[in-house]
Amino acid sequence: MKHFVSRLALASALSVASLAAHAANTDITVAMQLEPPHLDPTSAAAGAIDSVLYSNVFEGLTRFMGDGSVVAGLAKSWDISDDGLVYTFILHDNVLFHDGSTMDAEDVQFSLNRARANDSTNAQKALFAGITDVTALDAATVVITLDAPNGNFLFNLAWGDAIIVAPESIEGIKQAPIGTGAFKFANWVQGDKIELIRNDAYWGTPAVLENVTFKFISDPTAAFASVMAEDVDAFVGFPAPENLPQFEADPRFQVLVGSTEGETILSTNNKMPPFDNVKVREALAHAIDRQAIVDGAMFGYGTPIGTHFAPHNPAYVDLTGISAYDPELAKKLLAEAGFADGFETTLHLPPPSYARRGGEIIAAQLAQVGIKAQITNVEWAQWLETVFRGKDFGLTIVSHTEPMDIGIYANPEYYFQYDNPAFQELMTNLNATTDPEARTALMGDAQRMISGDYVNGYLFQLAQLSVAKAGVQGLWTNAPTQATDLTAVSWAD
Amino acid sequence: MNRNLIIGLILSAISILAALVSFIWTPFDHVAMNIPAKLQTPNLTHWFGTDHFGRDIFSMIMVGARTSIAVAFVAVGIGMGLGIPLGLWAAARKGSYIDELIMRANDLIFAFPSLVIAILITTIFGAGAVNAIIAIGIFNIPVFARVVRGAAMPIWEREFILAARVAGKNAARISVEHILPNVMNLLIVQATIQFSLGILAEAALSYVGLGAQPPTPSWGRMLADAQTLVSIAPHLALIPGFAIIITVMGLNLMGDGLRDYLNPRTRVART
Q: Within 10 Å of residue A58's Cβ, how many Cβ atoms?
A: 30
The predicted model gives B77-92 an average pLDDT of: 93
- Nearest in space to A461 (alpha carbons), one of A304, A241, A266: A304
What are A374-411's pLDDT values in tens digits? 998 888 888 988 899 899 999 999 999 888 889 899 99
What are A312-348's pLDDT values in tens digits? 888 999 999 999 999 999 999 999 999 989 899 999 9
- Running DSSP on this structure, what letter comes out for residue A102? B
- Nearest in space to A192 (alpha carbons), one of A222, A220, A172, A213: A213
Residue B215 to residue A363, Cβ atoms within 8 A: yes
Write down the pLDDT at residue A399.
92
Which residues on A lie below 8 Å from B232 (Cβ)?
A: 242-243, 245-246
Does the pLDDT of residue A2 top 60, yes or no? no
Write down the pLDDT at residue B135.
84
Write down the pLDDT at residue A248.
93
The predicted model gives A210-220 an average pLDDT of: 93
Residue A364 to residue B53, Cβ atoms within 8 A: yes
Per DSSP (E only), the strands in A361-478 are 371-377, 395-400, 457-469, 472-473
> Which 3 state secondary structure label does DSSP give A406?
helix
The predicted model gives B226-242 an average pLDDT of: 91
Q: Give yes or no for a contact between A242 and B232, defined as CB atoms under 8 angstroms apart.
A: yes
HSE value, Cβ hemisphere, 13 Å, CA-based, for A440: 7
Closest alpha carbon within chain A to B215: A360
HSE value, Cβ hemisphere, 13 Å, CA-based, for B245: 7
Residue A367 to residue B31, Cβ atoms within 8 A: yes
Which residues on B lie below 8 Å from A295 (Cβ)?
A: 35-36, 38
**Average pLDDT of the residues of chain B:** 88
Check residues A123 and B127 and name the one with the higher pLDDT.
Answer: A123
What are A434-482's pLDDT values in tens digits? 788 999 999 999 999 999 999 999 999 999 999 999 999 999 999 888 8
What are A401-444's pLDDT values in tens digits? 888 889 899 999 999 999 999 999 999 898 888 788 999 999 99
Share of chain B above pLDDT 90, in %: 48
DSSP A288-356: --HHHHHHHHHTT-SEE-SSSS-TTSTT----GGGG---HHHHHHHHHHTT-TT-EEEEEEE-SSHHHH
DSSP A135-166: EEEETTEEEEEESS--TTHHHHHTSGGG----
Angstrom distance (rounded) from CA A380 to CA A373: 20
Residue A246 to residue B231, Cβ atoms within 8 A: yes
Query: Band of the pLDDT at B20, cuts 50, 70, 90?
Result: very high
Query: Band of the pLDDT at A3, cuts 50, 70, 90?
Result: low
The predicted model gives B78-98 an average pLDDT of: 92
The predicted model gives A48-52 an average pLDDT of: 92
Write down the pLDDT at residue B271.
44
> Which 3 state secondary structure label does DSSP give A146?
strand
Write down the pLDDT at residue A314.
87
Residue B126 contacts A where some CB pair is shorter than 8 Å: yes
Write down the pLDDT at residue B132.
83
Angstrom distance (rounded) from CA A92 to CA B96: 85
Does the pLDDT of residue A273 top 90, yes or no? no
Q: Within 10 Å of residue B88's Cβ, how many Cβ atoms?
A: 22
**Cα B175 to Cα A190, B1, B240, distances in angstroms:** 58, 30, 43
Query: Band of the pLDDT at B1, cuts 50, 70, 90?
Result: low
Residue B33 to residue A364, Cβ atoms within 8 A: yes
**Average pLDDT of the residues of chain A:** 90
Does the pLDDT of residue B270 top 70, yes or no? no
Write down the pLDDT at residue B208.
83
Closest alpha carbon within chain A to B123: A378
Write down the pLDDT at residue A22.
47
Amino acid identity at B52: H
Closest alpha carbon within chain A to B227: A221
**Cα A273 to Cα A269, A278, A279, A331, A362, distances in angstroms:** 8, 10, 12, 18, 19
Q: Give yes or no for a contact between B121 and B134, defined as CB atoms under 8 angstroms apart.
A: yes
Q: Give yes or no for a contact between B210 and B127, defined as CB atoms under 8 angstroms apart.
A: yes
Residue B31 to residue A364, Cβ atoms within 8 A: yes
Residue A360 contacts B where some CB pair is shorter than 8 Å: yes
**Which among A243, A296, A364 has CB closest to B52?**
A296
Residue A434 contacts B where some CB pair is shorter than 8 Å: no
Phi, psi of B243 (to 5 degrees): -60, -40
The predicted model gives A154-170 an average pLDDT of: 92
- Which of B:181-200 have CB within 8 Å of A? none
Write down the pLDDT at residue A207.
94
Predicted ipTM beyond 0.95: no
What are A237-265's pLDDT values in tens digits? 999 898 999 999 999 999 999 999 899 99
> Which 3 state secondary structure label does DSSP give A134?
strand
Residue B215 contacts A where some CB pair is shorter than 8 Å: yes
Q: Is B54 exposed, middle or buried (0-12, 13-18, 19+ CB in 10 A)?
A: buried
Residue B242 contacts A where some CB pair is shorter than 8 Å: no
Does the pLDDT of residue B74 top 50, yes or no? yes
Angstrom distance (rounded) from CA A398 to CA B184: 54
Residue B37 contacts A where some CB pair is shorter than 8 Å: no
Angstrom distance (rounded) from CA A452 to CA A458: 11
Does the pLDDT of residue A17 top 50, yes or no? no
User: Which sign, positive or negative, has the C-alpha torsion A216, A219, A220, A223?
Assistant: negative
Task: Please tell me the distance in Å from B39's CA to the nearest CA on chain A.
Answer: 10
> Which 3 state secondary structure label does DSSP give A204?
coil
Alpha-carbon Rg for chain B in angstroms: 22
Which of B28, B38, B53, B123 is the mutation pick for testing A, counting most A CBs within 10 A? Answer: B53
Residue B231 to residue A224, Cβ atoms within 8 A: yes
Residue B124 contacts A where some CB pair is shorter than 8 Å: no
- Which of A:288-307 have CB within 8 Å of B? 292, 295-296
Write down the pLDDT at residue B268.
52
Q: Give yes or no for a contact between A363 and A347, defined as CB atoms under 8 angstroms apart.
A: yes
Write down the pLDDT at residue A46.
77
| Host H or E run for residue B150 | helix B129-156
Total count of residues recorded for chain B:
271
Which residues on A lie below 8 Å from B127 (Cβ)?
A: 376-377
Q: Give yes or no for a contact between A29 and A192, defined as CB atoms under 8 angstroms apart.
A: no
Amino acid identity at A337: A
Residue A243 contacts B where some CB pair is shorter than 8 Å: yes
**Chains A–B, number of C-beta pairs less than 8 Å apart:** 58
Continuous H helices in A22-125: 47-53, 105-116
Provide the pairing of β-strand A211-216 with A27-32. Answer: parallel
Write down the pLDDT at residue B267.
58
Does the pLDDT of residue A6 top 60, yes or no? no
Which of B29, B31, B33, B51 is the mutation pick for testing A, counting most A CBs within 10 A? Answer: B33
Provide the pairing of β-strand A253-268 with A457-469. Answer: antiparallel
What are B36-61's pLDDT values in tens digits? 888 889 999 899 999 988 899 999 99
Provide the pairing of β-strand A193-198 with A141-146. Answer: unpaired
